[in-house]
Structure 1
């Protein structure tokens, strides 16, 4: 076009014209909140694009081990040159549709990293998790080299609200971390446990304390001087933790709650069954029977429901499906493994994903409920989520349908659909807090 104008000008004797270029206004990427708790939703907007311009939004996180996680989604600007992730649908990338938190939900190990690693915060009391958001030209797939960067920003995801205190605990035999909400008041108190990954896992406890619930992150093996493996359990250890928490000057009254995921969930059921100071239990993707190793308490021993590895399926992707491996708790030979939840005087909340492929947590919750109903009890509520998988974490946690198993050392299928699973995390989180607030008076 410039050549044509030059020729016309020359013919008219006007000389060579100046080149006229359109000046593009800078692209602006805004995120709110720029620094906030890790369970808070984000509002992401891009402005200054051309109408209908295609762009790729990317999120990048480097975890504390140096592993790179990323995600991407394709968008097209509206007639005003704006992309609003709360309003607009992604048309490709790691997800499609209107998913305001999709960039965080779909974070997974980068192509150069070992697959099946989980992004989780290990040192909640140190630096926040930093997420870099970028806007790239055009639509590029997850494994392709992205286009040029039009805008970028960094945001912080905090796991401890200002004023929350973390106290490392070595009280008698009990180990762990106690998280106390800010202020001088007394707070409802819970014990928080995870599954067979072992060690000290703090991110849920720190977020509970940030929401006003004192929480003791309680390891029970593979930490400091605790047993290195799950060979047997003694409920007296958990009783000592409950006694400590119920007597703490910052906690409310003389009762506590307990929340557990996986193996931690059946331990939670055992605690509320046998320990009178435990009056509220949240079981997340748990079993109605004692698993992994025998559980002893005074003169009672509950044998462990065992795994039959011959029932494990190895998929074409070399991922292991262990959903059928655990023995049937209702088999007459296994009835002694069932936890007698009908003896509990407290209240239960069962949270399950109906697409849990780690084990049949939905079935196990129904077994526990039947025992309660058969004994005339209605002290329970159930949150059952279609399309959700095994690891139901606080909201905004990335979806991890396959994860490396600490014990087996192989990738294990957890199940679930991205949108349904992450919506279950959002819905259950507030209901967990409400449950404890009601029952820990």
Structure 2
């Protein structure tokens, strides 16, 4: 019996030939199974074997092919709701019948060229308007990899397959639900006694409690609280009126935790979470380092209150909404950029921030003009003698995620109520995610400490 489906290796032929061509089976070291046939068995290998963390690259290879054999590789996974995501690419084996995706360029399909992780970042939903997210970090995604004879559109028989688990909780990472006062979230702690540099992680207008970015960051040596702020348990049902005191309470909780080193903590926010983190850095104490991913300089979506100060939401110009050729909404021009007189009360007073600031920007962001807001915030900070950092990524869209998440082209915008495009070109977006992940970790380690 095979110990894990992630290391099951089979050679399969057409259904008519299967029974008569299958020879005796052998159990290889490590529990790997290969059927001996009249032809050489095709073995599909993923290294590291069996499992890896989602943000880690893997090495995919196949052996037992004919010299220079043309094959098609397919990858697929299902999310927790059963939605199917797939990618494929055409390859040619080398003169020894081996295929190594780290050396062999794809000849077409979902991507082309030398892309060792292309079968992951090029995954596309079978049903449109779906974005791949991880809802339960305590379970892995199982990726199925198959090798088919020939090239699309009609490859021949299935030659080999394997499964590989992609996890979101690293070895020894601890997950602790947080119900402290009003604060609702999940704290992830690295292995070891600590203390660790602390980070508050905030997402956008989807609501709920996304944990996957926080859980992966905890594996890099950070104590990270994934913070919910609406549409979760007893929190508000919308963002029409948010209290910055709630976020202050979360910062205080993290700073006072015995396994979090001080004196200050970091903030990480994307989209609406980005402007919330910018507001936190501008009004609250104890913030040492802040990373904004495709955020804005204006308060968006609803009123933000803090101790008598009110930031109204930036006005929207719905006359600037455009429709794309494929019937999606493009909202990139709905917010004013450059800023106009009517925006002044909504501008976050970033000049007050004492935190180090890093802006990560997708230059093809179609949610709003993130580069404009990052540049404008940078100018205001520099006028006060501060030195923020802005890193721009050409052809990257709005949702800059941890590495190897596929780019989401379009999905339902919860505030707009319609499907919108997010921008980006898949390959460039993937490269941006890899670099941004390294940049934000280096930034936090530099300003918060730790290893």
Counterpart CA distance in 2 for 1:89 and 1:220 is 44
The residue number in structure 1 matching 2:213 is 204
Paired position in structure 1 for 2:141: 129
- Counterpart of 1:262 in structure 2 is 271
Gaps of 5+ in 2: 1-36
1:431 positional shift: 1.5
Residues in 2 aligned to 1:298 and 1:437: alpha-carbon distance in whole angstroms = 32
Q: Does 1:438 align with 2:446?
A: yes
Give how far 1:23 is off: 4.2
TM-score, structure 1 as length reference: 0.91
Moved more, 335-344 or 196-205: 335-344
Deviations 1:240-263 (A, max 9, x none): 000000000010123111100000
Distance in 2 (alpha carbons) for counterparts of 1:72 and 1:406? 31
**Are the counterparts in 2 of residues 305 and 329 from structure 1 also a CA contact under 8 Å?**
no
In structure 1, C-alpha distance between the alignment counterparts of 2:438 and 2:47, rounded to whole Å? 21
2:384 maps to which residue?
375
Contact 2:337 2:372 in 1 (8 A): no
User: Does 1:52 pair with 2:98?
Assistant: no
Q: Is the 8 A contact 2:337 2:369 kept in 1?
A: no
Q: Relative to structure 1, is the Cα distance of residues 351 and 104 closer, same or farther in structure 2, using a 3 angstrom cutoff?
A: same
**What count of residue pairs does the alignment treat as equivalent?**
412
How do 1:293-304 residues align onto structure 2 when only pairs under 5 Å count?
Answer: 293-304=302-313
- The 8 Å contact of residues 266 and 289 in structure 2, kept in 1 or not, is answered as yes
Q: Does 1:288 align with 2:300?
A: no
State the distance in 2 between where 1:186 and 1:38 align: 25
In terms of Rg, which structure is larger?
1
Matched, 1:410 2:418: yes
Q: Which residue of the partner structure matches residue 3 of structure 1?
A: none
Corresponding residue for residue 13 of structure 1: none
| Structure 1: stretches of 5+ with no match in the other structure | 1-21
Q: In 2, Cα distance between the equivalents of 1:395 and 1:430?
A: 10
- 1:69-84 aligned within 5 A: 69-84=85-100
Q: Which position in structure 2 is the counterpart of 1:91?
A: 107
Shift of 1:366: 0.3
The question of whether the paired residues in 1 share the 8 Å contact of 2:338 and 2:372 is answered with no
Change over 3 Å in CA distance of 1:122–1:146 after alignment to 2 = farther
Query: Any conservation in 1 of the 2:315–2:342 contact (CA below 8 Å)?
Result: no
Kindly state the Cα deviation for residue 409 of structure 1 after the two structures are TM-superposed: 3.6
Which 10-residue stretch deviates more, 427-436 or 398-407?
398-407
Contact 1:329 1:337 in 2 (8 A): no
Equivalent in the alignment of 1:4: none
Q: 2:398 aligns with which of 390, 405, 408?
A: 390
Structure 2 CA distance for aligned equivalents of residues 404 and 358 of structure 1 = 12
Find the residue that maps to 1:170 and give its secondary structure: strand
